[in-house]
């Protein structure tokens, strides 16, 4: 007989690891490690030693693997809608993560990076709600709100991924006041979607989410400037941008 505390504890750990993996993805971009392991499977035969040398991409993949293993354990312990969606989410996150390597190499369109972001955030939300014993209806409600206006959070997240994929973690964005290329238009659309998201949060009176969102937007603008200054290594701001994005999601769920 498995003690009652084991299941929620594993769910909390998985949610925390999923969040950590998302932030590590931002650090990978911020310090230019996107293709540090190449695009050819199995990438490296000694990922632990690479991680020990401080490669955030290797640490990112180890963290993602742990999320997957715990996800499978939770699915076996309690097969329900949330554990199933979480498990499917991590599978899609992994597959799309492999695709993003080809996006960065210029072999696939940036849409795959946007879809990767959505899958990663869905995985995080799945296990956070599972840990806090929220009903499946709450999860479905979040997904509906994230996709359907007024705030359609997932479109904002998707476009953030498209920006990352379009610039391939190495191109500067340039002056977006008069957009002239796909990258600049992607950034502008991401910005417009963010403003619409803020208006929706004001309409819905979700003030905590709005506060985190504004902080995230400020960091996003600073990240934009950092990317233009050093496009291959804009620094920690990319990771912080992801951190505050996660804070917005948590606020949407629990406030």
Mean pLDDT of the chain: 94
Give yes or no for residue 4 having a pLDDT over 90: no
**Domain range spanning residue 218?**
6-254
* 81 lies in some domain: yes
* 15 lies in some domain: yes
Give yes or no for residue 221 having a pLDDT over 70: yes
* 63 lies in some domain: yes
CA distance 185 to 235: 23
- Going by pLDDT thresholds of 50, 70 and 90, the confidence category of residue 60 is very high
Mean pLDDT, residues 229-239 taken together: 97
- Convert the pLDDT of each residue in 77-106 to its tens digit: 999 999 999 999 999 999 999 999 999 989
Sequence-distant (≥ 6) Cβ neighbours of residue 27 within 8 angstroms:
33, 56, 60, 236, 238, 239
Give yes or no for residue 192 having a pLDDT over 80: yes
Sequence-distant (≥ 6) Cβ neighbours of residue 148 within 8 angstroms:
none
* 202 lies in some domain: yes
Mean pLDDT, residues 187-199 taken together: 97
pLDDT at position 113: 97
pLDDT at position 1: 62
Mean pLDDT, residues 133-161 taken together: 89
Mean pLDDT, residues 52-60 taken together: 93
Mean pLDDT, residues 138-151 taken together: 86
- Going by pLDDT thresholds of 50, 70 and 90, the confidence category of residue 193 is very high
pLDDT at position 43: 73
Structural domains of the chain, count: 1
Give yes or no for residue 41 having a pLDDT over 80: no
* 68 lies in some domain: yes
CA distance 140 to 203: 21
* 1 lies in some domain: no
Give yes or no for residue 44 having a pLDDT over 80: no
Q: What percentage of the chain carries pLDDT values higher than 90?
A: 81
Q: Indicate the SS3 state at residue 85.
A: helix
Give yes or no for residue 129 having a pLDDT over 70: yes
- Going by pLDDT thresholds of 50, 70 and 90, the confidence category of residue 152 is confident
Mean pLDDT, residues 136-155 taken together: 87
Helices (H), the chain: 6-30, 47-52, 56-77, 81-104, 111-131, 136-147, 153-167, 182-203, 207-229, 237-254
Determine which of 13-27, 86-100, 139-153 has the lowest per-residue pLDDT on average.
139-153
Give yes or no for a contact between 173 and 233, defined as CB atoms under 8 angstroms apart.
Answer: no
């Amino acid at each position: 007989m498995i003690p009652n505390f084991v299941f929620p504890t594993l769910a909390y750990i998985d949610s925390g690891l999923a969040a950590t993996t998302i932030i590590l993805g931002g650090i990978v971009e911020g310090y230019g490690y996107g293709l540090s392991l190449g695009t050819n499977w199995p990438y490296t035969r000694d990922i632990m030693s690479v991680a020990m040398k401080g490669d955030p991409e290797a640490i990112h993949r180890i963290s993602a693997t742990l999320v997957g293993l715990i996800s499978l354990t939770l699915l076996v312990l309690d097969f329900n809608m949330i554990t199933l969606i979480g498990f499917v989410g991590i599978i899609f996150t992994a597959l799309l993560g492999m695709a993003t390597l080809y996006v960065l190499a210029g072999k696939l369109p940036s849409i795959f990076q946007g879809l990767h972001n959505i899958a990663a955030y869905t995985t995080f939300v799945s296990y956070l709600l599972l840990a806090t014993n929220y009903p499946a209806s709450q999860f479905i409600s979040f997904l509906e709100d994230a996709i359907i206006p007024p705030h359609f959070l997932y479109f904002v997240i998707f476009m953030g991924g498209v920006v990352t994929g379009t610039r391939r973690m190495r191109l500067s964005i340039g002056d977006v006041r008069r957009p002239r290329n796909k990258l600049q238009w992607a950034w502008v659309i991401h910005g417009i979607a963010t403003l619409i998201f803020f208006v929706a949060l004001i309409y819905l009176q979700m003030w905590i989410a709005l506060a985190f969102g504004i902080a995230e937007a400020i960091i996003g603008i600073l990240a934009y400037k950092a990317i233009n200054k050093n496009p291959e290594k804009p620094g920690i701001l990319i990771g912080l941008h992801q951190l505050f994005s996660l804070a917005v999601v948590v606020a949407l769920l629990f406030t």
